[in-house]
Every structure is written in structure tokens, then in C-alpha cells.
Amino acid sequence: MTPRDRLAPNERIVLAVGAYVLQAQELEHLLKILVPMTDETDPSLTAALDRSAILSKKSLGVVTREFVKAGAGDVADLQKLFAEIVFERNQIVHHFSARFAPSYLRINTKRY
């Protein structure tokens, strides 16, 4: 039996959700480093730093689209993978309780 097996089901869910969110953040961080360096119109360090500053406030979805747009060749599989990651991350971060919580924890917003 591993230490993870000793966790209650809700603790395993929290651990998995936290791990997914942190991995998505790491992906976003890495892409925010890479994307500014992919613009061939002005490859100077100054221009890359300017692009990095602009990109620093953008969401994971925007950053992944920019990375795919800068790609060469057939990027359909990469685009599909990023779309799935962004969708799942958004479901967890923005809609967790509506999608995953037991029905007794959901708030009926139609009443308000």
C-alpha cells in the first residue's frame, strides 16, 4: 500500500486537481518564454523582451494558440492537444463544483 492509497477519496481528488493545475501553470510559463522568441520578423533580444512583456498577462489559451501559430508543418495534433489541456484546465479552475461536486453541494442559481 502506497501513501497515496491511504488518502481518503476527497484527498486524492484534491491532490490530482492540484497537480493538474500546477502542470498547466508550468506549461503556460514555459510557453511564455518560448513564444516571444519565435517571431522571425524581429529576432532581437529587445523585441523578444517586448513581446514577452505583452504575453505575460495573456491566458493559457492565448499563449497556446500563439505557439501553434508560430509552428511549422502540420500542427493539427499539437493544436488538438493544447485545446484539450486548456479545456480541462478551465473546467477544473472555473467550473469544478458545477461539474464534479455532489449534487447536494451545487447551488441552484435559477432561484436567484
pLDDT tens-digit readout, 46-80: 999 999 999 999 999 999 999 999 887 889 999 99
Is pLDDT of 10 > 90? no
Helix (H) or strand (E) holding 63: helix 60-70
Q: What integer is the mean pLDDT of 4-18?
A: 80
Nearest Cα to Cα of residue 92 among 41, 16, 39, 28: 16
The C-alpha cell of 8 is what? 481518503
The percent of residues above 70 in pLDDT, for the chain, comes to 87
Q: How confident is the model at residue 16 (pLDDT cuts 50, 70, 90)?
A: confident
Where are the chain's structural domains? 7-103
Is pLDDT of 15 > 60? yes
pTM of the model: 0.76
Per-residue confidence (pLDDT) for residue 111, from 0 to 100: 46
Per-residue confidence (pLDDT) for residue 112, from 0 to 100: 45
